[in-house]
Amino acid sequence: MKILSVPTTPFAGQRPGTSGLRKKVTVFQQPNYLENFVQALFDVLPDKAGQTLVLGGDGRFHNRVAVQTILRMAAANGFGKVLVGRGALMSTPAVSAVIRKHGAYGGIVLSASHNPGGPDGDFGIKYNIGNGGPAPEAVTEAIYARTGTLSAYLTLEGAPEVDLETPGAGTLGGMQVEVIDSVLDYAELMQSLFDFDAMRAWFARGHRMRFDAMCAAAGPYAHAVLEGLLGAPAGTVVNGVPLEDFGGHHPDPNPAHATELIAAMEAADAPDFGAASDGDADRNMILGRRFVVTPSDSLAVMAAHATRVPGYRAGLAGIARSMPTSCAADAVAKALGVPCFETPTGWKFFGNLLDAGKVTLCGEESYGTGSTHVREKDGLWAVLYWLNLLAVTGESVEQLVRSHWARFGRHYYSRHDWEGVPVERADALMAALREQLPALAGRTLAPGLVLSQADDFAYTDPVDGSVSARQGVRLIFEGGSRIVLRLSGTGTEGATLRVYLERYEADPARHDLPAQDALADLIRVADEVARIRELSGLERPAVIT
């Protein structure tokens, strides 16, 4: 097969966001659009000749077409081998696990995570480096710079499509292609971390759970581990077959979108434990009977009980959380005598801390939790962690969380997403807010809400010294309450303004307020200070979690 150089012209706007390049499917279907981005990626990767690349995606529409395109381009660009997921499917945490287990050069993940799928939905692509984690900003900026100067891309002329359904090795041009079942590697890793005997016994005692895979990538992994290795009853995993449109679901594991699971956990015959994952299986939602656990509380509870889990029995080196995530994990870190690092949003910021051995657990408020076992957040891993805790403590989800609040206090928490804000309006809103910051500190913005700090968060990486500025506006009040405002980089239409609200309550007698009631003063202050309704042109947030 002949290597073909195909002339092309640059596309504007191919800058990767916090989790790669995400656009509508129709954008990626434009001739040369995907090819340009992939060639730009390959052009900035040093010493790639003969190296091994991992490739897979979450199974959404256009995934299979994109995988065949990338295989031809990888062969033309000199890679020696590609490990590709069976059926073109590989969850994001599994990509990380496979890179690390096989010592691969890096990997390409085809996913738009929790965004909708289907022909009218979203598509995405991101690159993971040799540690298994998302490419750092230096790499993504180099890719973006190259997309603006590209004049041709390389592919194989007349190359046949690779059979992606049958595991095994073949060749494409001079490159080896091995179709793998990544479920096997992932399940092996999970067995090295958790007490499978205790979890089997939990199910054997008659306990029940419901795992909603949301017709997305987590399904095959959950079927294999929960219903296979752990002996959970058939039907424990629902929506477990990955579909190109996620069955019409919005594959985002939060109370706004996982409504089927919420209803099942509120029913009279609700199972003991409920959980869900997202499109590419890297996020998780944890529920008990009529009880929803916030992601911030989930990270804190996991950290507080780490030594009960075999893979973490030696204790934690430290904890990391994204800046908008609540300070619940900070309280645990203080009690354990370990550091808690506050990073910008984006899993790539945890990679240096994990590689340097500074942290063991990390998490984000957007339903992502992870550890040293991979360099991505990992939905099913977090679910197994909680299942391990239920099995060894004999407590329910609600009991574990309430005991945690009694010891550390409750961090009431919510996120309000103002979606589809015109970009120019969103930018103007944030600019106006930043202009106010010097005059805000020390002001009383509502009864009991005295502002002690107002800043635009900047992060200096303690490992490599790199600086990330303008990562979100923080309004921090005396007593621990916080408001954080930032623009999200994961949407595909307009801008999403995210408003994060946190209030600390030490008194156990006040731990049962509805979250939106407990945060009402902060919600009002956020709107007044940032003039959200006025400047966004919207009347209310699209999603409240």
Give 175's strand partners: 172
Tokens of residue 308, six digits:
């009960």
DSSP annotation of 246 reads: G
DSSP annotation of 115 reads: S
Q: Which amino acid appears at position 310 of this protein?
A: P
| Alpha-helical runs (H) found in 246-361 | 259-266, 295-304, 328-336, 348-355
Quote the CA–CA distance of 80 and 296 in Å, as a whole number. Answer: 42
Quote the CA–CA distance of 60 and 57 in Å, as a whole number. Answer: 8
259 Cβ contact partners less than 8 Å away, ≥ 6 residues apart: none
Q: Are 58 and 279 in contact (CB under 8 A)?
A: yes
Residue tagged 């977090």 (tokens): 382
The beta-strand segments (E) located in 221-266 are 237-238
Quote the CA–CA distance of 248 and 252 in Å, as a whole number. Answer: 12
Of 111, 113, 298, 322, which one is the catalytic site residue? 113
Give the β-pairing of 52-57 and 106-110: parallel
- Alpha carbon dihedral 69, 71, 77, 83, in 10-degree steps, equals 150
The secondary structure of 202-224 as a DSSP string is HHHTT--EEEE-TTSTHHHHHII
Q: Which amino acid appears at position 479 of this protein?
A: G
Euclidean distance between the first and final Cα of the chain, in Å? 52
Residue among 146, 151, 155 at smallest CA distance from 37: 146
Active site residue 326: no
Give the β-pairing of 273-277 and 291-293: unpaired
Q: Are 310 and 194 in contact (CB under 8 A)?
A: yes
Q: Which amino acid appears at position 275 of this protein?
A: A
Q: Which amino acid appears at position 307 of this protein?
A: T
Quote the CA–CA distance of 129 and 45 in Å, as a whole number. Answer: 10
**Three-state SS for 364?**
strand
* Residues marked as catalytic: 113
